[in-house]
Amino acid sequence: MAFNFEQLLVWQKAIDLTGIVHELTLKFPRDELFILTSQIKRASNSIALNIAEGSTGQTNPEFKKFLSYSIRSAIEVVSCLHIAKRRNLITEQDFQIIYKKIEEILKMLQALKKSIN
């Protein structure tokens, strides 16, 4: 692997999440395409993108700032999941699967952020 972030398990899990969210949104109705579909996909992508951007050539304080952006994006995905569930766009099972994955990613992001001096 050519870049440091590619070795981070949290980045790998965030990339996996983007695929899961993409597959989930394929089931959303067309009228949500530029609303919730776009929002949840951008937020899930942002988790991995901020990890990558912050890890390469940044100072530790800058990397921590980008990890904070990733954390915020993960929380945004959770909010989008709640909206999707309330609008009956996803099942409780889909909600729980993704929710648990985001919980894991959040714990990893917080631990990584805490470990950086």
| Tens-digit pLDDT profile for residues 59-97 | 999 999 999 999 999 999 999 999 999 999 999 999 999
| Residues 6 or more apart in contact with residue 28 via CB below 8 angstroms | 36, 37, 84, 89
Could you tell me which of 53, 73, 42, 39 has the C-alpha nearest to residue 4?
Answer: 53
Report how far residue 53's alpha carbon sits from residue 73's, in angstroms, rounded to the nearest whole number. 14
Q: What tens digit of pLDDT does each residue of 25-51 get?
A: 999 999 998 899 999 999 999 999 999
**10 Å Cβ neighbour count for 75?**
14
Report how far residue 103's alpha carbon sits from residue 53's, in angstroms, rounded to the nearest whole number. 22
Q: Which two tokens stand for residue 99?
A: 């929710």
Q: Tell me, which fold does domain 4-115 have in CATH?
A: de novo design (two linked rop proteins) (1.20.1440)
Per-domain residue ranges for the chain?
4-115
Predicted TM-score (pTM) of this structure: 0.94
